[in-house]
Amino acid sequence: MRSMAVGEHSSTYGGNPVVCAAAEATISVLIEEQLVENAAKVGAYFKQKLLKMQNELRIIREVRGLGLMLGVEMRFDVYSILQAALQNGVLMLDAGRNILRFLPPFCIRHEQIDRVIFCLRNILVKEQLAKLPS
């Protein structure tokens, strides 16, 4: 705080009792439900599944990330993948034209990751077949 002059850092509502109570409740849930540990454990599981898929499907260029913040770089635009996933009830994000970005909540479970992997694999197999030279 010594590095900032008066007025350089402020928030009109940042320190009010409601915001402080919400922050305290959030920290309590993170600790009590071991959500940070879950993110590390389930994130490693998710990444391992994605790496296995990369080994099987040559349209995946790279899998990267840490914890539950993961990215899958494809060899082509991902728009069609995002749309197909959405039609199957799975919300995926992009990070540029050719990267799928995953940012699931800390409370996600292995079963939910398995559903995403199943959906993504089905989409990517179809995409790979469509992109194979005739």
Q: What is the pLDDT of residues 51-67, one digit of tens each?
A: 999 999 999 999 999 99
For helices 35-56 and 17-32, give the axis angle rounded to 10 degrees: 60
CATH code for the part of the protein at 35-131: 3.90.1150.10
The residues with which 94 forms a beta bridge, in sequence order, are: 100
User: What 8-state DSSP symbol labels residue 60?
Assistant: E
Domain spans of the chain?
Answer: 35-131
Q: What is the pLDDT of residues 22-34, one digit of tens each?
A: 989 999 999 999 9
